[in-house]
Amino acid sequence: MDFILSNLPILLCALAGMALIVLEIFIPGFGFPGITGIALLLVSIGFTANNHGAVAALGMTVVIVAILAIAAMLALRSTARGALSKSRLVLNDAITDDEGASQVANLQAYIGRSGITCTVLRPVGIAEFDGTRLEVATEGDFIDKDQPVVVTRVEGKRIIIRKA
């Protein structure tokens, strides 16, 4: 019990740091919990080096890395197949090939249609066709705003136009 009380700051910093790092796994981006967790882990390693020497600090570093690796593995496994995969934190929707193909097929209907540029095309911009604004590209020419254009072809999801 005396050992735990004498090393309580080290234990608290290490546990809080690991908890914040695990929390950071589930938060998009890298922010306050991750930075604070790393700082607390470094403080716990520093306390260990100061109180017990460099070999103990190295051992503490190895233990922290091993625990964080196991926690990350368990979190990723839960994200893929466990309870976490059914939560709102994980995006399970995906565009199927059929949906992607139908979007490209819908763009094919614009071939030959006339429209007006809404922005300057340098060579990419916005044009309006029958009330629908679409992102379009020229074949390399710059076209001013409010100019008549015609769709010449569709390459995947890219609509190629020329001046009418």
Report the CATH number of the 97-163 domain. 2.40.50.140
Instruction: List the pLDDT tens digit at each of the 164 positions of the chain.
Output: 787 788 899 999 999 999 998 888 777 778 899 999 999 999 999 999 998 999 999 999 999 999 989 988 887 787 777 766 677 666 666 666 555 445 556 888 899 999 999 999 999 999 999 889 999 999 888 999 999 999 999 988 899 999 98
**pLDDT at residue number 85:** 65
**pLDDT at residue number 98:** 53
The 10 Å CB-count burial string (b at 16+, else e) for 93-117 is eeeeeeeeeeeeeebeebeeeebeb
User: What is the residue extent of each domain of the chain?
Assistant: 2-86, 97-163
